[in-house]
Structure 1
Amino acid sequence: MTDWTDSRTFSNALERAVTLEKGNCFEDFSDGQTIEHAPGLTLSAHANELWMSQTLNHDPAYWRSDAAQAVGYDDCPVHPDYLLACVMGPSVEDLSEKGGYFLGRDAVSLHDPAVAPGTEVRVESTVEAKRESSSRPDYGIVTWETAGFDAKTGDRLLSYTRTNMIPRREPMAADGGSASPGESRPSAETDGSGLPSEFVAPDGPYFEDFRDAHERTANRDAAVAYRHERGRTMDDVMVATLPLVTLNTAKQHHNDDYMADSPSGEIVAYGDVTRSVALGHARSDERTYREIEYGDERFHDFVTVGDTVYGFTRVLDIEETDDPEAGTVTFEHYAFNQCDEPVYSGTRTALIQKRT
C-alpha cells in the first residue's frame, strides 16, 4: 500500500501531476460574448461596515438611520465603494485571474444609490473589444462591460467598463508552461515510492469529465491525480480569528505566550481551517452539486502564520446515479505547504453536476 502522505512520495507525486489552472486566456474571449459569473454575494451589513471602517469612510449617512433619512434614504444603504468591490470581485475568476496589467476602469455608474444590505447580487460581463498588444506579444488586451443586478428583481445596480492585458495561451505553452488539463505527465522512472506510473487529469469540472478520466486509467498502472493552482497564505485572521468566531477557544490558535515553548514555537492554524482551504481549492475545479460525506481525515504537520496551503486531489471512485443532474465521485484530498509537505489528507464523497 502506497503512503501518499510520505514526504518523499508526495513530493514525487507533485512533480508529476498536472496543475488545473484557473482563469481564462486571451484566446478564450470573443467580441460580444456574455459571461454569467457563477459566484455572487448577498450584501452584508457587517462586511459593509468592515469595509467602511477599514478604509476610513465615515460618512454618517452610511452608519446612522437618522443621517441616512436626512439625505433622502429610507435607511442606511451599502456604501458605493463596497458595492463596486462586490460587483468587481465575482468577475475576477472568469476575466483576469490569469494576471496581466489592469489598464483602467471607466463609466462607473450607480444605477441605484440606495442598495440595501441583504440584497443578493448577480454579476455578468460582456466582451466589448479585444485586440493584440503591440508592446507585449505574450498578451492581448480585452475590454469588458460588467454589471451587477439585484438577483431577485433583475434591476441593474451598478455597471462599469474595464480593460486588462490578458496572457495569451500559445506563448505560455511555447515557454514550457504547465500541461493543460487532461494531459498526462510522462511516466516516471521507478523511484521506489509505489506511485502509479501515469497520472491523468480530468478535462473539465463536470461528472462526465471525472468519469472519463477514471475510465482512462482502467486496467493500467495509472491514477486520476492532479494539483490545484491556487494557494492561500495563512494570516492572523485565518489562524486566530476564524477559530474564535466558531467559539473554538483553544489557546493553540491565539496565545503566543502559551505556545512559545511548544513544538511549533508559535500559534498554529485550526485544523478545520486548513482542511477547508484544501477542499476549497478542490471545489474550485469541480461543479459540486451536493456534499455527501467525509472520512479518514488526518493532520500531518503544523500550519502557522505565513505558511501557504495548496491542494492536491486523487479520484478514488466514480458511481453513476439515477439523478439526471449529478453523479457520485469519491476523492482523496491533500493540503500541502510551500515546502511540498503534506499537512492534511482525507476522503470526500460528493455529487458532481452532470454536463447534460
Structure 2
Amino acid sequence: MTDWTDPETFAAALDRADTREKGRYFEDFDEGAVIEHAPGLRLTRHGSETWMSQTLNHDPAYWRSDAALDRGFDAPPVHPDYLLACVMGPSVEDLSEKGGYFLGRDGVEFHRHGVPLGTELRVESTVETTRPSSSRPGYGVVTWETRGIDAASGEPLVSYERTNMVPRREPAATDGGRSGSTGDDESGPSLLPETLVAPDGGAFEDFRRALDEAADRDAAVAYRHERGRTTDEFTVAALPLATLNTARQHHNAAAMADSPSGEPVAYGDVTRSTALGHARSDERTYRELGYDGERFHDFVTAGDTVFGFTRVLDADGSAGPSRAGEVTFEHVAFTDDERPVYSGVRRALVDREGA
C-alpha cells in the first residue's frame, strides 16, 4: 500500500498533482458581463462592533440606542465602513483573489442610511472596462461596478466602482510604462500653501470658519490627527476574513513570501477605515454620504502604525437637514515612516453648533 504521508512520497505526489485554482485571470473578464457572487453576509452586531472597535470608530450612534435615536435611527445600525467591507468581501473570490494591486475605488454611494443589523446581503458586479497594464506585462487592469443589495427586499444599499490589477494567463507585450513618462517629480514642500489652518472644533461652523479664514490667501485647511493604530495580525488577517475577503495577500504568508512586501499585507478597507476613524474622532459626524477618488498608494504590514491627515475642501450650509451641513474632506492615511498609503475624498453631514 502507498503511504501518502511518507515525506518523499508526498513530495512526489505534490509535484505530479494538478492544482484546482481559485479566482479568475484577466482574460476571463468580458466587458458588460454581470457576475452574481454566490456568498453573502448577514450583517451582525458582533461583526459591526468588532470592525468599529478594531479601527477606532467610536461614534455612539452605532453603539448606543439613545444616540441612535437622536441621530434618526430606530436602533444602532450597521456602521457604513463595515457595510462597505462586507459588500466588497464576497466579491473577492470572483474578481481579485488571483492577486494584484487594489488600485482604487470611485463613486461610493450609500442608497440607504441606517441599514439595520441582521440585514442579509446579496452582492453582484458588472465588468465595466478591461485594459492591459502599461507597466506590468503579467497583469491587466479591470474596473467593476459592485452593488450591495438587501437580499430580502432587493433594495440597493451601496454601490461603487473598483479598479484592480489582475494577473494574466499569458504576459502581454508592453513598453514598460515608459511612454508618456517624463520622470520629473513636481511635488514637494515648495508647492504647499504658506499656511495650514486647523478648525477650532468639530462642528460644521468650525469647518466653515476655517475655510473662510483660509480664503483669499495662500492657505489651506489641513491638519493631522494624534491617534495612531498599529496594525497587528488580527487586523491583517481576521478582519478581512470575517467579511469573506479571501484575497491571499491578507492571510497566506507562503504565497506572499516572494512578493514585494515579503509578508501578508493589510486589507485596504481596514487601513482606510482606521484613518477615517481617526478623522471622525475630531468631528461631529451626523451621517456619511459618499466617497470618491479613493486610491491605495503603498502596502501596510503588521507592525506599521496608521495615522490620519485631513484637508477640508468645502462646507456647504445649504445641504442636509437643519441640524447639519455638508462638509467635503480629503483624507490621507500614512504610516509611522510617513508613507502615504491611502487617500480619498469623503462627503459627510456634520452637526451644527448646538445640535
For normalisation by structure 1, the TM-score amounts to: 0.48
For normalisation by structure 2, the TM-score amounts to: 0.48
